[in-house]
């Protein structure tokens, strides 16, 4: 019989959920669904982008980034598997009075 795992963590404990999801994602044939990440956090295996705080953590370690580097990474993370030209990225990050 299948099991259901429910976990609730606070914003400052979000790294725990990220580590658990990395382990689950690495297991072949293991079905998992993530629906509980707040919309202000983007999570990828080994990488967590905290939009509200404007911080990036790789494997739990804070990565220092400029405002534009962070904006570029968020733009690309919001469009996985998309291909952009340098001009498109520039326009999105620097253009339009942002």
Does residue 59 have a pLDDT over 50? yes
Looking up residue 45, the CATH number of its domain turns out to be 1.10.10.10
Give the count of beta carbons closer than 10 Å to the beta carbon of residue 48: 21
Confirm whether 2 is domain-assigned: no
**pLDDT surpassing 70 at residue 93:** yes
Task: Please state, in angstroms and rounded to a whole number, the distance separating the CA atoms of residues 49 and 19.
Answer: 14
Q: What is the rounded distance in angstroms from the CA atom of residue 68 to the CA atom of residue 94? A: 8
Q: Domains in the chain: how many in total?
A: 1
In this structure, is residue 59 part of a structural domain? yes
Identify the pLDDT of residue 72.
93
Q: Which of 5, 65, 14, 7 is nearest to 40 (CA)?
A: 14
CA-based nearest residue to 9, from 24, 21, 27, 25: 21
Section 78-97 average pLDDT: 85
What distance in Å separates the CA atoms of residue 37 and residue 8, rounded to the nearest whole number? 10
Task: Decide if 1 is inside a domain.
Answer: no
Examine residue 37 and state whether it is found in any structural domain, yes or no.
yes
Domain that holds residue 33: 11-94
pLDDT at 96 over 50: yes
Residue 4, in any domain of the structure: no
């Amino acid at each position: 019989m299948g099991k259901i795992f429910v976990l609730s963590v606070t914003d400052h404990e979000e790294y725990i959920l990220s580590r658990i999801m990395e382990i689950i994602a690495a297991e072949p044939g293991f079905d998992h669904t993530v629906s509980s990440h707040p919309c202000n956090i983007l999570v990828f295996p080994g990488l967590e982008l905290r939009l509200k705080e404007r911080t990036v953590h790789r494997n739990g370690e804070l990565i220092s980034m400029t405002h534009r580097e962070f904006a570029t990474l968020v733009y690309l993370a919001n469009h996985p598997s998309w291909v952009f030209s340098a001009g498109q990225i520039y326009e999105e990050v620097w253009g339009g009075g942002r």
